[in-house]
Amino acid sequence: MPKKKVVLNFPPQLIDQPITYRLIQKYGLVVNILQARIAPNEWGRMVVELNGNGGNLEAGLNYLAELGVQVEPLAEEIMWLEENCVHCTACVAPCPTHALDVERDTMTVSFDREICIACELCLATCPYQAIEISFD
């Protein structure tokens, strides 16, 4: 099944609509919400991973575009520079998905970019410039 991580920017007039529900119900997409901020009278922002069969993924993205939701690819990517890392483990506490994690037997830090949601909470915690953010 094709998978895609995207950022959805919702204009304020759309936030009262059950858009995520439609993506699931009408287009059969698996919607994994990685990060979301929706508030009255503001642009909403959601980072989602969309997973769908056949043309459903494309159809779902077209539906969003027609509604006026701006769809962008997830452009930020967290880079773990292993050669700079000293394995102090300071970065693991704020990581919400355990993308940055510790192998407890050896106390070695590892990074799984597949499950990283680029929330950036780790950036301020690394004293050794071993975590960087890159923009596509």
Partner 1 sequence: MAKTIQEINEKIRQGKAVVLTAEEIIEVVKQKGSKRAAAEVDVVTTGTFGPMCSSGAYFNVGHANPRIKMGGGRVTLNEVPAYAGFAAVDLFIGATALAEDDPRNKVFPGKFSYGGGHVIEDLVAGKDVRLTAWTYGTDCYPRRALDTWVRLADLNEAALFNMRNAYQNYNVAVNLSDKVIYTYMGVLQPRMRNANYCTAGQLSPLLNDPFYRTIGVGTRIFLGGAQGLVVSHGTQHNPGVRRTEQGLPRTPAGTLAVMGDLKKMSARYLRGASFTGYGVTLTVGVGIPIPILDEEIMKFVAVSDAEIVAPVVDYSEAYPNCKPGTLAEVTVAQLKSGEVTVNGKKVITAGLSSYVRAREIAQVLKKWIAEGDFLLAEPLAPLPAPESGYAFKPLKERPV
Site for partner 1 in 19-58 (CB under 8 A): none
Give, in degrees to the nearest 5, the angle at Cα 101 between 132 and 93: 80
Instruction: Write the binding mask 68 to 107 for partner 1: x where contact by CB under 8 A, - elsewhere.
Output: ------------------xxxxxxxxx-------x-x-xx
Residue among 59 and 88 whose Cβ is closer to partner 1: 88
CB of 33: closest distance to partner 1 in angstroms?
21
CB of 48: closest distance to partner 1 in angstroms?
25
Residue among 104 and 136 whose Cβ is closer to partner 1: 104
Burial of 119 per CB tally in 10 Å (0-12, 13-18, 19+) = middle
Residue among 48 and 91 whose Cβ is closer to partner 1: 91
Residue among 67 and 124 whose Cβ is closer to partner 1: 124
Other C-beta atoms within 10 Å of 110: how many?
15
CB of 115: closest distance to partner 1 in angstroms?
17
Size of the site for partner 1 (CB under 8 A): 19
Residues that bind partner 1 (CB under 8 A): 86-94, 102, 104, 106-108, 124-125, 127-129
